[in-house]
Structure 1
């Protein structure tokens, strides 16, 4: 890697980096230190990592992508490298507390690395390469903040302390579809697939941007709500094989087996009869939010939905999921030759008035809130609340170039589905309309939902 020219106007960039680094450190620390010692031993789950391992892994990532790559310095404790490296320690071994340091030792390691990164930002030239790698490591850590939040939901721990139940940006219902005209559109981040962009950071799977011709299509202005999905449940949607694809029926069988293992037998057909965190209790539908059962909010987006459930709902409703390109066009409306927008509302970074992110509201607001954040076509909440399933498989764009972290995208290509828009647990510093997240279609532990298109 060649060192690029030192950036001009570097001090504002340094200040921004230091602020984001410290904010990321404090958020991570709170998510760890608010758990009791017993809670650190979370039950094994294939979609969850132990909280302490998440913290150590994040610090190790800074070592590799800042100190190893920029300075060639060895790790803080080379004997621990294989244990913190996700590609050297098997998922099931991360639960073996005897292999890893205790909480205080891990916190000390975490803080030591963060302090060293902050010192380096202040003391060393802020080259394009350094800025890129700092951002990469900070954004990677924010991905793990999201997984720490869904870990709490999965195992039923208390909500993060940041949770706020007030509606910051109330709106009124916007039923119906937005009609997107046929035409030529821009998808992905503009420009070449370069590593060290100084202005618009993007991961490798968002690059290079390209032009695409799309037919006209109609997409829902709102995400599918709990009320709408409840109609599918009430009509026995989970028990109608004709609504489910082969993959969906296999998923139903797996979920039914898991229900029996965990003492949730379905007495007729061995299928789940409702989303994973719903229950019928004392004459009403309830939803579990972390460790609390609460009445189901009919106007909130349906959450923790697998791709197979979204697909079956669409078949029941006579609708379909959007492709990821349709989703991005509906969200951003970027056209060749016109100013490029990063968010549905323009280029202002997301905040609490524009999107449900940062673990603040946890997809509890109505789908029609945040009216100031509408897309150019009038679609609400295309950023935040829930990751939205698309019908697209996760593949590289033409001209794809593997990034600094070779496993950022490549391991997911082919068998994962694309979700878009970020969720209530996604960090707002991370998201933009071109961001592509990939999940296996059976995942319902993450904060996933969907919107639909007309056939």
Structure 2
């Protein structure tokens, strides 16, 4: 299986360069007041994310790899994500935008020198460029976070992107696909840049089940709303029912009724809700309630991964639904190439061997599973990436969204969040027992 076709040094340089270009685009498109403002208590000011990206890069690539002294040790506590909750960060003496830009640029200049000369072997941290890949993924994850902040930001649109192409080729043959029961290999021990929660590869037994061929669409979800789904307690987990009653929730985030028509706000543009597009900005509780109303359920994380990776002909698990090769625009909607999901049924070339579509990209998909470590899990290189979040408080999301870069998205990649979260680029598909 060809999992890392590029030279590790070249691959790291490409990934770091792409991440920085995206960071620059997301921060240069607004003025300084927008960079320093907190657009939602759920999110950091954009300028915090910018300097935090540089601080993490300095910590791991200059201090840990190159053994250099801290450049500005006094700022470390401000940019430690565990020191200060997001709601408190605007009150910190953050680096102003010009200083944050200079700091991250200076760090990157020194990092490129380290990358050129540092050995990429001899320790687990640098083997195959692992720590450089980890930092590229970290920056891209914050780029997605900053894109969420842009969605929450009020005001005129500042981001543009071409619209996704309409679904190509024949539509899916059936609304759901049968995934056979039996064992499959979940997780990975071979992917060079996989993060600790994706490891190790292990065998998982899964009973046969049916899964939606495409994600649940806005049109599907409107049927749930019209049928009174937000008014009937029986569909909701107790905590979810409390949430929607307490906060007056009656539709996905950013939706509203206007003149009898459902519209949504998307990056500053108000538009009709697109019926054929995967539903977006729903919490785990909303996804779970819809699934119950539809007489179905959310897939477990293991079911989702088997549907995405299992090849019934060879019996092995692929890197991606379509095979082992890196994603292309024909496979999936990734990398902020568009500023919305593509229509349900898009990307037939990205389908799994069983015919399930859009498992990678478009929308993060909620699963029914709590976020826990795999058998044999080992925190690496720091507990705060995954282990401190393990437990029933967080639910797993899989597959990535249109806002995820390919470097931070693969068939084994795991995301997680609190079940109340709606500002993230989250959707879902449903399943049922066979």
The TM-score by the shorter chain falls in which range?
A: over 0.9
User: For residues 16-165 of structure 1, what are the structure 2 equivalents within 5 Å?
Assistant: 16-43=11-38, 45-96=40-91, 99-127=93-121, 129-130=125-126, 131-156=129-154, 161=159, 163-165=161-163
Residue aligned with 1:429, SS: helix
Whole-angstrom CA distance in 2 between matches of 1:232 and 1:286: 16
Using the alignment, how far apart are the partners of 2:72 and 2:204 within structure 1?
Answer: 49
What are structure 1's unaligned runs of at least 5 residues?
1-8, 192-198, 257-271
Displacement of 1:353 after TM fit? 1.7
Whole-angstrom distance in 1 between the partners of 2:169 and 2:32: 42
**1:287-302 equivalent positions in 2, closer than 5 A:** 287-302=264-279
Structure 2 contact 168–348 (Cα < 8 Å) conserved: yes
2:373 aligns with 396
Aligned to 2:178: 179
TM-score (norm 2): 0.93
Deviations 1:280-339 (A, max 9, x none): 113321111110111111100000000000111111111110000000000111579855
Asked whether the 8 Å contact 1:297–1:364 carries over to 2, the reply is no
Tell me the equivalent position of 1:222. 214
Q: CA deviation at 1:53?
A: 0.5
Alignment of 1:371-386 (within 5 A): 371-386=348-363
Task: Give 3-state SS (helix, strand or coil) of 1:299's partner.
Answer: coil
Q: Which runs of 5+ in 2 are unaligned?
A: none
The alpha carbon displacement at 1:212 in A equals 1.5
CA drift of 1:13 comes to 2.4
Moved more, 36-45 or 131-140: 36-45
Distance in 2 separating the partners of 1:243 and 1:249: 9
- Which residue is 1:213 aligned to? 205
Q: Give the distance between the partners of 2:295 and 2:165, measured in 1 at CA.
A: 32
Q: Is the 8 A contact 1:75 1:81 kept in 2?
A: no
State how far apart, in whole Å, the 1-side matches of 2:271 and 2:25 are: 25
Residue 202 of structure 1 is matched in structure 2 by: 194
Instruction: Tell me what 1:436 maps to.
Output: 414
Secondary structure in 2 matching 1:213? strand
Q: 1:250 to 1:176 in 2, by over 3 A?
A: same
> How far apart are 1:253 and its partner, in Å?
2.9
* Distance of 2:157 and 2:390 partners within structure 1: 33
Question: Which residue in the other structure is 1:194 paired with?
Answer: none
CA contact (8 A) 2:39 2:153 kept: no
Distance 2:246 2:403 in 1: 27
d(CA) in 2 for partners of 1:73 and 1:81? 15
CA distance, structure 1, for counterparts of residue 400 and residue 369 of structure 2: 16
Give the 3 Å change call, closer, same or farther, for CA 376–158 of structure 1 in structure 2.
farther
Aligned mates of 2:147, 2:207 — CA distance in 1: 39
Q: Structure 1's 351 and 209: CA in aligned 2 closer, same or farther, altered over 3 A? A: same
CA contact (8 A) 2:38 2:44 kept: no
Q: Please report the RMSD computed on the Cα atoms of aligned residues, expressed in angstroms.
A: 2.1
Q: How many residues in Structure 1 have an aligned counterpart in Structure 2?
A: 424
1:268 maps to which residue? none
Deviation at 1:124, TM superposition (A): 2.5
Deviates more, 1:245-254 or 1:343-352: 245-254
Cα distance in 1 for partners of 2:280, 2:298 equals 16
Query: What per-residue deviation string (whole Å, max 9, x for no partner) do you get for residues 59-97 of structure 1?
Result: 111111112112322211111111111122343331126
Separation in structure 2 between the aligned mates of residue 312 and residue 325 of structure 1, nearest angstrom:
21
Q: 1:56 to 1:219 in 2, by over 3 A?
A: same
Q: Distance in 1 between matches of 2:117 and 2:6?
A: 11
SS of 2:415's partner is strand
> How far apart are residue 361 of structure 1 and its match?
2.0
Q: Alignment partner of 2:381: what SS?
A: coil
Paired residue secondary structure (2:305): helix
Q: In 1, are the aligned partners of 2:36 and 2:47 still within 8 Å (CA)?
A: no
Query: For 1:169-205, what per-residue CA distance to the aligned partner results, in whole angstroms no more than 9, with x for missing partners?
Result: 63443242100111111111136xxxxxxx5321111
How many Å apart are 1:138 and its aligned residue?
1.1
